[in-house]
């Protein structure tokens, strides 16, 4: 664009009239303002999980973009097998019964052989090359491999692949300047595929060209388009006359430049019938969202302190918690409306942070979550939730909505005071804020796990776990780096230098979501110190901290190996540690294809398989909307962890008897039909936590200490502790022991007769006189007075029912004191030597001209004569004849 002549224009401007100025301004505005190309977007939903965009622009351009929700029910993918090649997209769609198909890789007309990687239904029929990338799918995976990486041997999950080049978008940034293929700088019809960052959305896009209705695009323009649509990565496929998209019910949606669909080598097909678990839902990031209940660190959900696990989940109107009754759940939930959709908790960085823990040390589990304005907690009162308490100021505005920060929020007692503290991965590394019960204390920094060192990858920050590694009562922290696990011990006010743990490294395959998500920090043997456990390709293994900077040898667990099918996410991500037999050790449970399986731990090894309910694939339990809800908690306070999960028709639970699971118990009606299959709801289920150790070790021959502990292991708590709470004062009632503390008694009703601390109420017919129970004085309430002449013990009256003199409440004179003859001393005086004297004592002045004695204290005259002058005559009590 030519440079505008500013100086000449300003000279002309100086001598112009207002009308000329207006004309000149509008002319310049028209010349210098670029007219944007308007786009008309029309969206439709041709099939479940598929959204079709038709965009027209004034360039002109005709663009068709199919957004495929790879995690929607019934969505799966298929590429062409060798014997299915050489077809039009519509022909291939009809052949395999798919709902949508686009053309695939560049190819040679001789034999219709593709140039890049080609895999169809698990069989590779053409190799990758250094100039080609490829789109690939398989169970739990959907991925775009860049052009630089050459894959010669397929991973076991790779079932379908189509090649292409060049890479158009990398890490969300358009890649410009491609010269291969040679027509990249020219405008032509284009076919392109892209993936969102979380790999939930696949974009299949065709752009018409070589016509007056649509001019086509260059590769650079195509890259900009894919970024605009939301692609994190994108790759060019064969275009020109090959460009075509065919959708069931719509046919060929674009206008191929050859006038009809071209016969091509291979294709990419999408199935979308809306039924069944998705075939290639890649949870490489979103596992931290959909399975965020695991990040609750197995915290208890016992809200009211009755020893039974309660059931919580967030609906559109807020968090609702159903109390366990021992055989079911309450029908009237506790509700936190501040966690509603309307309050902003329908976004991943908020609803995924809901945690339970005890922030005030009262033994009742509280609820905390991170909102856009920071962390808020709602303490349990035992009958509901109290007002919100502010935690750390982890706001969206300060960057805390990023998954590497928000998802790492943990409640853990790092200071050892019995209050759960607030911890998370900040930009500068791990950080904790001690809870004060009503707020937070000064920060406690931990290891510098920062983005510059790679810690902002989900397979690193997603492995942060807290637990008491060394058994000192302080919660420590461990996480996985590229070389394996790293741990740092809490000192209560700081963290130690991180040291190496188990070698669950990148090289060992732990960047795979099927491995890193299984890392747990749990106390498997009930010794008070947590172990590190995970599932490797060969099965489960655990490591015990050995002190210093070392871990002991591997403790082998159940052989849940890849070669027996346990790498599937609907199996491996359901691994749970829970004490199902009540022995204090943690058993291991998971969902096999046929249903729930548990292996009991005897303190040294896992064995004795226990079969649970048949939550199998045929019942829909291979869908992450269901299997992520599988949790264990003690529903009936018998010390054994019970099983609960959300099925399509609602929550169902089974009580554990130690060696079996009982019949189904219906839980809250969180059904698919009522909307609970949506991400912001099913993923917020919080239930369970490890049950307390039930193995009793006697520390005394009786239970005479009021401490809330069964000291003699007879099954009853504090049954001998009443005497320990007795203060030997019968007048204030009999004290009792309850919940580890002494409770005051209720003072007896002595009917005015009086009470002695060592014996209680004076017997009938007596009254308290002079510190003893004396025979009561008879009286006539109509004629006689009962005054005993002692004003300090109160004015006696004649009880009309008993016909005796009884005392009323004694005077309360405080520090002034009381004289029997006159009662309380007046204000400003106190009892001294049998008299009420002034409070201020003034020393005599010293000096000449005074007959005073230096240093002596002035004698104060008694006030009694003054007080007696104003009293009524004292009348003696007359006895009845």
Dihedral angle of Cα 507, 509, 513, 516, to the nearest 10 degrees: -70
Q: What is the DSSP letter of 438?
A: S
pLDDT of residue 90: 99
Q: Decide if 55 contacts 37 (C-beta within 8 A).
A: no
Please state the φ and ψ torsions of residue 527, each to the nearest 5 degrees. -100, 5
SS3 assignment, position 14: helix
Q: In sequence order, what E strands does 38-166 have?
A: 39-47, 50-57, 61-69, 75-79, 100-103, 107-108, 113-114, 118-120, 123-126, 133-138, 141-145, 160-164
CB 155 within 8 A of CB 96: no
At 110-150, the pLDDT tens digits run 999 999 999 999 999 999 999 999 999 999 999 999 988 89
| CB distance 195 to 143 below 8 Å | yes
> Could you tell me which residues come within 8 angstroms of residue 450 by beta carbon, excluding any fewer than 6 positions away?
427, 428, 429, 456
Q: How far apart are CA 312 and CA 461, in angstroms?
A: 26
Q: Where are the domains of the chain?
A: 1-34, 41-272, 287-687, 697-747, 754-839+875-881
Alpha-carbon gap, residue 42 to 23, rounded angstroms: 39
Q: Is the pLDDT of residue 270 over 50?
A: yes
Confidence of residue 9 (pLDDT cuts 50, 70, 90): very low
The architecture that CATH gives domain 287-687 is 7 Propeller (2.130)
Q: What is the mean pLDDT of residues 198-206?
A: 99
Does the structure show a pLDDT above 80 at 703? no
Torsion of CA 664, 666, 670, 672, to 10 degrees: 50
Residue holding tokens 């609702």? Answer: 320
- Coil, strand, or helix at residue 773? strand
Instruction: Give every CB contact of residue 33 below 8 A, 6+ residues apart in sequence.
Output: none
Beta-bridge partner residues of 625: none
Q: Look at residue 10 and tell me whether its pLDDT is greater than 80.
A: no
- Confidence check: pLDDT of 333 > 70: yes
Residue 706 predicted with pLDDT over 70: yes
Q: Is 53 exposed, middle or buried (0-12, 13-18, 19+ CB in 10 A)?
A: middle
Q: What is the pLDDT of residue 877?
A: 35
Q: Which of 453-462, 580-589, 649-658, 811-820 has the weakest average pLDDT?
A: 811-820
State percent of the chain over pLDDT 90: 73
The string over 420-429, giving b where at least 16 C-beta atoms fall within 10 Å of a residue's C-beta and e elsewhere, is: bbbbbbbeeb
Q: Are 464 and 431 in contact (CB under 8 A)?
A: no
DSSP secondary structure code for residue 793 in this structure: G
pLDDT of residue 691: 43
Q: Is 448 helix (H, G, I), strand (E, B) or coil?
A: coil
Tokens found for residue 78: 């298929």
Tell me the percentage of the chain whose pLDDT exceeds 70.
88
Q: How confident is the model at residue 797 (pLDDT cuts 50, 70, 90)?
A: confident
Distance CA 197, CA 139 (A): 18
Mean pLDDT over all residues of the chain?
A: 89
Q: DSSP assignment of 210-250, as one string?
A: SSSS---B-HHHHHHHHHHHT-SEEEE---GGG--EEETTT
**pLDDT tops 80 at residue 38:** no
Greatest Cα-to-Cα distance within the chain, rounded to the nearest angstrom: 140
The 10s digit of each residue's pLDDT in 290-300 is: 999 888 777 89
CA 96 to chain centre: 43
Q: What is the spatial distance between Cα 521 and Cα 529, in angstroms, rounded to a whole number?
A: 10
Comparing 34-43, 151-160, 252-261, the range with the smallest average pLDDT is 34-43
CA angle centred on 393, ends 388 and 398, rounded to 5° = 140
Rounded to an integer, what distance in angstroms lies between the CA atom of residue 642 and that of residue 644?
A: 7
Task: From 517, 296, 521, 491, select the one nearest 410 (Cα to Cα).
Answer: 296
Q: Which two tokens stand for residue 708?
A: 């809330």
Distances (CA, A) of 266 to 111, 162, 795: 12, 7, 109
Whether the predicted pLDDT of 868 surpasses 70? no
Query: C-alpha angle with apex 809: 806 to 811, nearest 5 degrees?
Result: 125
The pLDDT-based confidence of 811 (bands split at 50, 70, 90) is confident
Reply yes or no on whether the pLDDT at 230 is more than 80: yes
φ/ψ of 435, rounded to 5, equals: -80, 140
- In whole angstroms, give the CA distance from residue 168 to residue 195: 12
Q: How many CB atoms lie within 10 A of CB 748?
A: 14
A 10 A CB-CB count for 675 gives: 13
pLDDT digits (tens, 9 = 90+) for 146-169: 988 899 999 999 999 999 999 999
Q: Lowest-confidence range among 78-82, 687-691, 829-833?
A: 687-691
Phi/psi of residue 83, each to 5°?
-80, 5
Within 559-702, strands assigned E span 576-578, 587-592, 595-601, 606-611, 631-633, 642-647, 650-656, 661-666, 686-687
Collapsed DSSP state (helix, strand, coil) of residue 582:
coil
**Does an H or E element contain 544, and which?**
strand 539-547
Q: ω before 60 within 30° of 0 (cis)?
A: yes
37's enclosing H/E stretch is: none
Prior bond to 360 cis, omega within 30? no
Cβ-contact 158, 119 below 8 angstroms: yes
Q: Per residue in 722-754, pLDDT tens?
A: 888 888 888 888 888 865 578 888 899 888 788
* Res 859 pLDDT > 90: no
Q: DSSP E strands: which ranges in 316-354?
A: 318-322, 334-336
- Cis check: omega of the bond before 166, within 30 degrees of 0: yes
Give the model's pLDDT for residue 31. 35
Higher pLDDT residue, 507 or 783? Answer: 507
Instruction: Note the pLDDT of residue 469.
Output: 98
Residue 92 has pLDDT above 60, yes or no: yes
Q: Residue 201 above 80 pLDDT? A: yes
The pLDDT score that the predictor gives to residue 716 is 66
Tokens of 797: 């009256």
Please report the pLDDT score of residue 781 as a whole number: 79
For residue 383, the model assigns a pLDDT of 96
309: left (phi over 0), alpha (psi -120 to 50) or beta: beta
Token duo for residue 707: 């401490």
């Amino acid at each position: 664009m030519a440079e505008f002549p500013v100086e000449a224009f300003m000279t002309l401007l100086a001598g112009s009239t207002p009308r000329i100025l207006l004309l000149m301004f509008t002319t310049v505005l028209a010349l210098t303002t670029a007219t944007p190309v308007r786009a008309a977007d029309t969206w439709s939903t041709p099939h479940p999980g598929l959204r079709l965009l038709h965009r027209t622009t004034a360039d002109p351009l005709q663009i068709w973009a199919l957004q495929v929700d790879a995690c929607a029910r019934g969505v799966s993918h298929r590429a062409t097998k060798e014997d299915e090649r050489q077809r039009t997209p519509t022909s291939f769609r009809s052949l395999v019964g798919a709902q949508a198909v686009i053309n695939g890789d560049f190819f040679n007309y001789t034999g219709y052989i593709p140039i890049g990687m080609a895999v169809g239904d698990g069989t590779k029929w053409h190799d990758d090359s250094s100039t080609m990338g490829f789109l690939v799918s398989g169970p739990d995976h959907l991925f775009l491999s860049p052009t630089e990486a050459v894959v010669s041997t397929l991973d076991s999950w790779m079932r379908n692949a189509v090649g292409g080049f060049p890479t158009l978008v990398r890490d969300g940034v358009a890649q410009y300047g491609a010269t291969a293929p040679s027509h990249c700088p020219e405008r032509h019809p284009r076919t392109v595929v892209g993936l969102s960052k979380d790999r939930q959305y696949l974009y299949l896009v065709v752009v018409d060209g070589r016509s007056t209705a649509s001019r086509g695009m260059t590769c650079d323009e195509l890259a900009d388009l894919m970024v605009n649509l939301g692609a994190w990565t994108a790759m060019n496929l064969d275009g020109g006359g090959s460009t075509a998209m065919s959708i069931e019910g719509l046919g060929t949606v674009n206008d191929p430049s050859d006038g009809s669909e071209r016969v091509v080598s291979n294709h990419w097909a999408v199935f979308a019938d809306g039924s069944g678990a998705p075939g290639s839902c890649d949870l490489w990031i979103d596992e931290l969202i959909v399975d965020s209940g695991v990040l609750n660190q197995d915290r208890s959900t016992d809200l009211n302190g009755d020893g039974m696990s309660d059931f919580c989940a967030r609906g559109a109107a807020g968090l609702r918690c159903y109390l366990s009754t021992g055989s079911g759940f309450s029908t009237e939930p506790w509700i936190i409306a501040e966690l509603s959709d309307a309050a902003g908790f329908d976004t991943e960085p908020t609803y995924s942070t809901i945690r339970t823990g005890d922030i005030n040390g009262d033994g009742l589990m509280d609820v905390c979550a991170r909102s856009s304005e920071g962390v808020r907690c709602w303490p349990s009162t035992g009958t509901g939730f109290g007002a919100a308490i502010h935690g750390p100021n982890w706001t969206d505005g300060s960057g805390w909505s990023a998954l590497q920060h928000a998802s790492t929020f943990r409640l853990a007692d790092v200071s050892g005071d019995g209050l759960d503290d607030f911890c998370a991965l900040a930009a500068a590394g791990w950080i904790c804020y001690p809870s004060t019960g009503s707020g937070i204390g000064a920060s406690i920094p931990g290891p510098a796990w920062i983005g510059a060192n790679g810690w902002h990858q989900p397979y690193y920050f997603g492995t942060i776990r807290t637990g008491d590694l060394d058994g000192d009562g302080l919660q420590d922290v461990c996480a996985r780096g590229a070389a394996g696990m790293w741990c740092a011990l809490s000192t209560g006010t700081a963290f130690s230098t991180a040291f190496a743990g188990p070698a669950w490294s990148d090289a060992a395959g732990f960047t795979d979501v099927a491995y890193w998500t299984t890392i747990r920090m749990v106390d498997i043997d009930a010794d008070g110190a947590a172990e590190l456990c995970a599932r490797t390709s060969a099965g489960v293994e655990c490591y015990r901290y050995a002190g210093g900077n070392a871990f002991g040898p591997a403790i082998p667990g159940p052989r849940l190996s890849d070669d027996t099918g346990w790498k599937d996410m609907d199996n491996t991500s359901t691994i749970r540690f829970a004490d199902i037999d009540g022995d204090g050790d943690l058993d291991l449970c998971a969902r096999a294809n046929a249903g729930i399986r548990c292996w009991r731990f005897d303190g040294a090894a896992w064995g004795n398989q226990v079969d649970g309910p048949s939550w199998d694939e045929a019942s829909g339990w291979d869908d992450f909307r269901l299997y992520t809800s599988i949790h264990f908690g003690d529903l009936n306070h018998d010390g054994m962890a019970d099983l609960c999960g959300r099925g399509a028709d609602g929550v169902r639970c089974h009580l554990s008897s130690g060696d079996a699971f009982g019949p189904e118990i219906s839980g809250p009606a969180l059904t698919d039909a009522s909307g609970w299959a949506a991400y912001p709801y099913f993923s917020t289920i919080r239930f369970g936590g490890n049950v307390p150790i039930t193995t009793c070790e006697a520390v005394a021959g009786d239970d005479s200490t009021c401490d809330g502990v069964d000291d003699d292991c007879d099954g009853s708590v504090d049954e001998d502790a009443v005497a320990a709470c007795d203060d030997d004062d019968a007048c204030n009632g009999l004290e009792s022991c309850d919940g580890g503390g002494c409770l005051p008694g209720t003072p007896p009703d002595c009917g005015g007769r009086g009470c002695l601390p060592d014996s209680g109420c004076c017997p009938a017919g007596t009254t308290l006189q002079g510190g003893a129970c004396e025979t009561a004085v008879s009286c006539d309430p109509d004629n006689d007075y009962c005054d005993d002449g002692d004003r300090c013990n109160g004015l006696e009256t004649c009880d009309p029912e008993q016909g005796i003199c009884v005392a009323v409440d004694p005077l309360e004179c405080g520090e002034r004191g009381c004289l029997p003859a006159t009662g309380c001393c007046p204000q400003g005086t106190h009892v001294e030597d049998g008299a009420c004297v002034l409070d201020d004592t003034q020393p005599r002045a010293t000096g000449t001209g005074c007959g005073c004695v230096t240093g002596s204290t002035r004698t104060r005259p008694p006030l009694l004569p003054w007080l007696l002058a104003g009293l009524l005559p004292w009348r003696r009590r007359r006895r009845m004849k």
